[in-house]
A and B are shown apart, each in its own frame.
Chain A
């Protein structure tokens, strides 16, 4: 069974600080997605990474896929209150397998 572990589970920091969220597994994934979910809403896709070592930037967010395609990180620079939410990583296995989701990181950015 493929599992994705996210850390930290909870993170509360001040506006302007930097942070990194991790998503780790012992399994290899063909691609990995990051989603952000706000209270009462469905998860919204932020990025998909498919190549080992790939780095993608989305404004102040930087996503990296590990060289071995077993892990990923999300780095936020100069966090803002609007970044508050539940961040989920999801891995796609080989072939027609269901996506595997991490438990999520609940991020709170305090003004």
Chain B
């Protein structure tokens, strides 16, 4: 059974640009969560989608957004990138809405210069 797949793995963007990251969950999993991980802040929850609806949201500005498609694949978008957005962005999937065990992808490394 394939795990959670995230693309791209690495990317470099310039301040002010926008970026879209993609996540394919484990087959049969309908919940997708996104996390930002930085050395200083640890793992911080961005949002969770289940059945194409946002179910939970963390404390991030509106520049961070996401969506989920009918096949459970998800994308997250960050607009007007700032240097502080440089981080590892992790996607995780679960069979049910968050609160249960989640399985992470390898992450997308974003560097903003």
Q: Tell me the residues in window 1-41 of chain A with beta carbons closer than 8 Å to chain B beta carbons.
A: 30-31, 33, 35, 40-41
User: Nearest Cβ in chain B — how far from A34, in angstroms?
Assistant: 11
Do B90 and A42 touch across chains, with their CB atoms under 8 A apart?
yes
In the A-B complex, the 4 residue pairs with the smallest Cβ-Cβ separation, listed nearest first, are A42-B104, A101-B43, A96-B97, A92-B99
Residues on A lying within 8 angstroms of B by beta carbon are: 30-31, 33, 35, 40-45, 48, 88, 90, 92-99, 101-104
Do A45 and B99 touch across chains, with their CB atoms under 8 A apart?
no
Do B42 and A104 touch across chains, with their CB atoms under 8 A apart?
yes
User: Nearest Cβ in chain A — how far from B40, in angstroms?
Assistant: 10
Interface of A is mostly: loop
Do A41 and B56 touch across chains, with their CB atoms under 8 A apart?
no
The interface bits of chain B over 76-97 (1 if a CB of A lies within 8 angstroms of the residue's CB, else 0) are 0000000000000010100001
Residues of chain A within 8 A of B22, CB atoms compared:
none
The interface bits of chain B over 41-59 (1 if a CB of A lies within 8 angstroms of the residue's CB, else 0) are 0110100100000011010
CB pairs A–B below 8 angstroms (13 shown): A33-B102, A42-B6, A45-B103, A93-B99, A94-B99, A96-B56, A97-B56, A98-B45, A98-B48, A98-B56, A99-B98, A101-B43, A104-B43
Do B99 and A97 touch across chains, with their CB atoms under 8 A apart?
yes
